Chain A
Amino acid sequence: MESEALKRLYCVMFQIRMIEEKIAELYSEQEMRCPVHLSIGQEAVAAGVCANLSRDDYVLSTHRSHGHYLAKGGNLKAMMAEFYGKVTGCSKGKGGSMHLVDFSVGFLGATPVVGSTIPIAVGVAMGTVMRGGQQVTVVFFGDAAVEEGVFHESVNFAMLKKLPVVFVCENNFYSVYSHISIRQPKDREIFELSKGHGIESYQGDGNDAIQVYNLAERAICKARQGGGPTFLEFKTYRWREHCGPNYDNQLGYRTENEFQAWRQRCPIERLEKHLLKEGILCNQDIDRMVSRLKAEVEDAVVFAKVSPFPEEHLILEHIFAP
């Protein structure tokens, strides 16, 4: 990977981390009155995949979508305002964290029912082909989504029509508190399940941003050249609770040791170490970047807080399009 691309990758991950931690910090003010599913720990998948996409390409996602939204270039102020339920939010305050969208950068929607955006992404890819477009569509989902029937319906159809779609599974081993060993057979990897559909499938270290980038690059290029869909499984880990700002390992559904082992493999620290070692970044660069990002985040929070709420008449608007 080129230096500039590596620096951008690092910056995007850092931005996601900073924003998510800001949300965690402010959440107890009780002004973000919607469920938030933070991407802390999983930044490399969002950043590594989206670094290969142009503004025109399409992304769809699920409840844990902040990272994907930001990595795709989604508007930060609009996202923050949406958490605060303001009319300046990306969904005019009608969707909250679980329904983010930014059509201007091809982030076509994230919805929280697990698996639901997978067939929609396949449809976006099909519609693109029908219209003679060159865009590639990426859909992000978690490990539990492959248990939904609709995942299999989607992959079957995508393969049948050889559509330009990339399926990205972030396997963080938990569906809320349920460990994957309770939901799926042991000794059967997710990417092996996917292979049963005949789709080219790979597994990667979701905390190695460069590996994510490389696997995604191949898959996205293949799709763009008419080679059809690919399935990518990335193993990663969410640091905080499923929904909300806190750590919850004390509940005992997973161990502190397990968390610490993954904490050691922080994707941002790993890439930072590599970039510093290779001389691609120096500490001053990082400080400058941090200052800049910090200012952006602060601006976004201020914007969200001063923005107005939607007016009452908007309750009954946008039910039907004219």
Chain B
Amino acid sequence: MNREVRFFQAINEAIDLCMEKDPSVYIMGLGVPDPSGVFGTTLGLQKKYGSVRVMDMPLSENGMTGVAIGSALVGMRPIMTHQRGDFALLAMEQIVNQAANWYYMFGGQKSIPLVIRMVIGRGWGQGTQHSQSFQAWFAHVPGLKVVMPTTPYDAKGLLIASIEDNNPVIFIEHRWLHNITGHVPEGTYRTPLGQARVAREGTDVTIAATSYMTIEALRAAEMLVKDGISAEVVDIRTLKPLDEKLILDSVRKTGRLIAADIGWKMVGFSAEIVARIAEEALNDLKCPPIRVALPDCPTPTTPALANRYYPLAVHIVATARKMLGLSADLPVSPDRTPVPLDVPDMSFTGPF
């Protein structure tokens, strides 16, 4: 019996189940109790658990991250929510200097079980300060785990596992995934951290992707069938600790790698995938690995530019075709009428 639930509902369920089970779990963030409930992810929680455990907060991202860390030191399990990952930049000092290091620099005595949710914006004129994604930075820091679910199933399973994890976890949710539906079991279950997933089997090229790019990769794989190309799509899911083995096994099988990430290309997470393949599976490659990621520039707001800024399925298709000796022209125009490119789907009519 397939239970179809939206990604944002799956997030809500995960938080609800964890808070019900464990009184030390609490959630804070700007607008967490407000009527829109952070894109629906926190709706109903304050009514159920009260305002001590479901907290709005002052606009003090760095200070409140410190508060979360301190509460964790005496046994609480905080979930912080940033409606945009860009706001979390104000908290970098506490996240990197304090939360990530506390366990190690004090000789392994007390870890910080903190989950920090960050929503990545896109489209409708978000612009550069409402759409950045910093998984590369966070994955670079020892002591932080980094998780990026693609499906509603994993949104719930990975969030439950992250809340139960005794370490700081950066949990990145793409705004355009919030409304997608997928099979989500009732009740508690976990998607273990550190495990990637083969989202679609194939034999000719591996597309290892994160977050929303997994959706584009799946679209690309479907389109590539017409070209006689069988693409294997790997949904990375946890960036740190990375499931290197699954990705390597896939690349050894297909001999070709496209690393697709929602961040920028330069020193992005896609570079880490390519580096590992180069170090450990160079002789299995039939052609050079390619990264598909954002160009190295800030996000413009006008749809005229933003629509040409984000890599799409057609770009992955063109890359794969070139790898297999076919023409690299875009197979179709990137524009997809009737859905404009600066919204995830027809249901979105702005503004946030």
Contacts and interface: CB of A to CB of B under 8 A. Distances in A.
A149 B92 CA distance: 13
Given A153-B64, A157-B58, A123 B73 contact: yes
B164 to A, nearest CB: 12
A118 B63 CA distance: 8
B66 interface: yes
Interface string A91-116: 11111000101010000110101001
A112 B67 CA distance: 17
A157 B98 contact: no
Interface in A125-152: 125-128, 130-131, 133, 137, 149-150
A312 to B, nearest CB: 15
Given A90-B107, A150-B93, A319-B142, A124 B60 contact: no
B58 A131 contact: no
Interface string B234-269: 000000010000000000000000000000000000
B106 A91 contact: yes
Contacts of B102: 109
Nearest to A112: B97
Given A111-B98, A319-B104, A320-B145, A127 B76 contact: yes
Contact of B58 (A90, A91, A160): A160
A127 B62 contact: no
A116 B70 contact: no
A94 B104 contact: yes
B107 A150 contact: no
A302 B268 CA distance: 50
SS of A interface (majority): mixed
Nearest to A135: B74
A200 to B, nearest CB: 20
Contacts of B105: 91, 94-95, 99, 111
A113 B66 CA distance: 13
Interface residues of A, number: 46
B150 interface: no
Contacts of A119: 62-67, 69-70, 94
Contacts of B109: 91, 101, 103
Contacts of A318: 103-104, 107-108
Interface in A266-322: 317-322
A119 B114 CA distance: 15
Contacts of B70: 60, 119-127, 137
A123 B113 CA distance: 14
A116 B65 CA distance: 11
Contacts of A203: none
Nearest to B99: A120
A150 B63 contact: yes
Nearest to B66: A119
Given A127-B76, A131-B76, A321 B111 contact: yes
A125 B76 CA distance: 11
A157 B63 contact: yes
Interface in B61-102: 62-76, 93-94, 97-98, 102
Interface in A31-81: 58, 60
A92 B103 CA distance: 11
A122 B52 CA distance: 15
Contacts of B241: 320
B328 to A, nearest CB: 42
B348 to A, nearest CB: 34
A123 B107 contact: no
B101 to A, nearest CB: 8
Contact of B107 (A58, A89, A120, A320): A89
A118 B66 contact: yes
A92 B102 CA distance: 13
B110 interface: yes
A309 to B, nearest CB: 13
B60 A127 contact: no
B157 interface: no
A82 to B, nearest CB: 9
Contact of B103 (A60, A121, A128, A321): A321
A56 B276 CA distance: 48
Contacts of A121: 70
B152 interface: no
A120 B69 contact: yes
B124 interface: no
B68 A123 contact: yes
Contact of A154 (B52, B63, B72, B142): B63
B167 interface: yes
Nearest to A121: B70
Given A119-B64, A322-B166, A127 B94 contact: no
B171 interface: no
25 contacts: A91-B107, A91-B109, A92-B107, A94-B105, A95-B105, A95-B107, A99-B105, A103-B110, A109-B102, A111-B98, A113-B93, A123-B67, A123-B70, A123-B71, A124-B70, A126-B71, A131-B76, A150-B94, A153-B58, A157-B57, A157-B64, A318-B108, A319-B143, A320-B167, A322-B166
State the 6 A-B residue pairs at the shortest beta-carbon distance, nearest first. A123-B70, A119-B66, A153-B63, A92-B107, A318-B108, A127-B71
Given A101-B107, A103-B110, 9 more contacts: A90-B107, A99-B106, A116-B98, A119-B65, A121-B70, A131-B74, A153-B64, A319-B142, A320-B111
Interface of A: 58, 60, 89-95, 99, 101, 103, 108-109, 111, 113, 116-128, 130-131, 133, 137, 149-150, 153-154, 156-157, 160, 317-322
